[in-house]
Chain A
Amino acid sequence: MNAAARTASTAAGATVRSSLAGHGHSSVTAKLFLGYLLFSTVVGLAALVTLLVTILQDGLPYLDSVLLFNAPSANPERAGARPAIVASIMIAAVLMATALPVAIGTAVYLEEFAQRDRWWIRLVELNIQNLAAVPSIIFGILGLAFVVRGLNLGPVLLTGALILGLQMLPTIIIATREALRAVPDSVRQGGMALGATRWQVVWREVIPAAIPGVATGSILGLSRAIGETAPLLMVGAATFVSFNPGLLTQYTVLPILIYQWIKLPQEAFQGLAAAAIIVLLVILVSMNGFAIWLRNRYERRW
């Protein structure tokens, strides 16, 4: 468009605008609304920045090799979070080995094979939706009754991991189903039209195409479980563990250790708690970052 034409069209635009003037009140409303939106955003951001700055100020001086590699101690000079860090990593591993395959299997069955018009399939679907909204402490009570006492496993790391696994099942099932649903039906039809069985199409085409979405959902579910405290308190995670935990030993995890340290009277433990929060944050942010990277890298537009 040349300059003259642009001027002409701007002039025409101005004419139209002036002829439609006289709606001042709507623009005031719009400005008020915009201001409100901006304010909401600032509140959230300000809270986050304040938290981060405080934590970093308090915690950075204590963030050293002692924190990462020592066991907890009554002496803040020598107290570290190693057993808790190890336990958090072990729990993540147990979750990947137990809850993940079960959740993915459930999702594949419900999405690809189940007959939706059966009442019991609908009941299962409804239950999964509801389980995702159950408060985590309820899962703790369930674990206490059925795993700690019912299976008589006691308050050991495996118990805690199983409870967290149960809690993250619905999240991963729902995320996996979303990912499977995003694979267009034309892929399934194309495979079936070649004489492949439904199983072959699902295994060779649909699941591989859905893996990025499944991975993203699973990592987000895992990171939520790592940050979880309430159900573990219920099933008896210990607060003072000075040894590296095993599957069938007592354990504590980072969030519980933080909770414990904050309650102690010495000033130094507050700083240690802040430093442990930084460690936890770094773990969670890098897990979520990895999930986002996976999604952006492999997301497919059909």
Chain B
Amino acid sequence: MEPTPAKTAEQTTRRGVQLAAPTAQPTSEAPLAEHDVVFECRELGVRYGRNRALRDVNLEIREHGVTALIGPSGCGKSTFLRCLNRMNDLIPSAAVDGTCRYYGEDLYAPSVDAIEVRKRIGMVFQKPNPFPKSIFDNIAFGPRVLGMTSNLADRVEQALRRAALWDEVKDRLRDGALGLSGGQQQRLCIARALAVEPDVLLMDEPCSALDPISTAAIEDLMTTLKSDYTVVIVTHNMQQAARVADQTAFFSVDQGETGRRCGVLIEMSSTDRIFTNPDDPRTEAYVTGRFG
């Protein structure tokens, strides 16, 4: 099921087209970079009602890597993350402008089904949010609603193994998930997302509610997962970004002429470069701890 790193243009287009209703026409071929570009955002912005939360984001996220989004509170990094799998649709007042392409296809085109998008692009939240039922049923929820019910037990085991949780829970799959520790719950949520075989895993500050040992376990997991998945992570913790991310994007708050606070992307580059030799002085101020 893993996509191979070297992918042909046809494959990419086919994958993109599956997002849309079956009758949709293929969109124009996306230009391919050296590594495949998973997300390509142009002038992306988000408004909540009349308040603009994010504007003018231009960036590309590459396949099979970990991309970290860092920046001070209120800089729109979580808002941006939620654009990538259309979770912002669930907030009635939110409106997205600009374009966001996923393997070349516009995620916000009218023919695209948000449900279909979320099947491909999984998400793990800041606070572990297992369902109030057994460990097994938590993992099986996704496959069940998507009709992937053949070999359900195998599927559950595989997802738990990938999330490095199998050995800890294999003898109590029927126990309630709310009885697990915080770190185990978060890995359960990762396993739950992996069980529907997504291409991308979005993580919104996945370790902010966890102790250092659980955090280390999740970070190890991210490094293993990136060989099969594209991982995008929002984090407040710069050391974490430096440890796990290949690419890092720095967001900040812009207080424009109107005085309204709005999130903007300052720069995006390889993690090394962001932390050692960033282009923008604001990035340098942030990563060296002088601001934010």
Contacts and interface: CB of A to CB of B under 8 A. Distances in A.
A214 B144 CA distance: 26
B145 A187 contact: no
A208 B134 CA distance: 13
Interface residues of A, number: 22
Interface in A190-220: 190-197, 200, 204-205, 208-209
A192 B119 CA distance: 9
Nearest to B90: A192
A116 B93 CA distance: 12
A117 interface: yes
Contacts of A205: 131, 141
Interface string A55-83: 00000000000000000000000000000
B122 interface: yes
Nearest to A197: B115
B116 A191 contact: no
A200 to B, nearest CB: 5
B142 A194 contact: yes
A190 B189 contact: yes
A206 B259 CA distance: 41
Contacts of B132: 187, 209, 300
Given A194-B193, A195-B115, A189 B131 contact: no
Interface in B110-160: 115-116, 118-120, 122-123, 125, 127, 129-133, 141-142, 144-146
B85 interface: yes
B141 A196 contact: yes
A190 B129 contact: yes
Contact of A194 (B92, B122, B133): B122
B192 interface: yes
A195 B142 contact: yes
User: Most chain-B CB neighbours within 10 Å: which of A115, A195, A200?
Assistant: A195
B145 A196 contact: yes
A72 B92 CA distance: 61
A194 B90 contact: no
B196 interface: yes
Contacts of B122: 193-194
A19 interface: no
A127 B253 CA distance: 44
Contacts of B131: 187, 190-191, 205, 209
Given A195-B116, A195-B146, A189 B141 contact: no
User: Most chain-A CB neighbours within 10 Å: which of B115, B146, B193?
Assistant: B115
A7 interface: no
B180 interface: no
User: Most chain-B CB neighbours within 10 Å: which of A116, A190, A192, A300?
Assistant: A190
A195 B118 contact: yes
B287 interface: no
Contacts of B142: 194-196
Contacts of A197: 115, 145
B119 A115 contact: no
Contacts of B141: 191, 194, 196, 204-205
Contact of A189 (B87, B119, B146, B192): B87
Contacts of A187: 129, 131-132
B127 A195 contact: no
A26 interface: no
A206 B3 CA distance: 34
Interface string A151-191: 00000000000000000000000000000000010111111
Given A192-B90, A194-B118, A195-B118, A186 B145 contact: no
B118 A115 contact: no
Nearest to B87: A193
B87 A192 contact: yes
B153 to A, nearest CB: 18
A193 B193 contact: yes
B192 to A, nearest CB: 7
A219 to B, nearest CB: 22
B205 to A, nearest CB: 13
A193 B89 CA distance: 11
Given A191-B131, A195-B115, 8 more contacts: A116-B92, A187-B132, A190-B131, A191-B145, A192-B118, A193-B122, A194-B142, A196-B141
8 contacts: A116-B92, A189-B87, A189-B125, A193-B193, A194-B146, A195-B115, A196-B141, A197-B145
Interface of A: 115-117, 184, 186-197, 200, 204-205, 208-209, 300
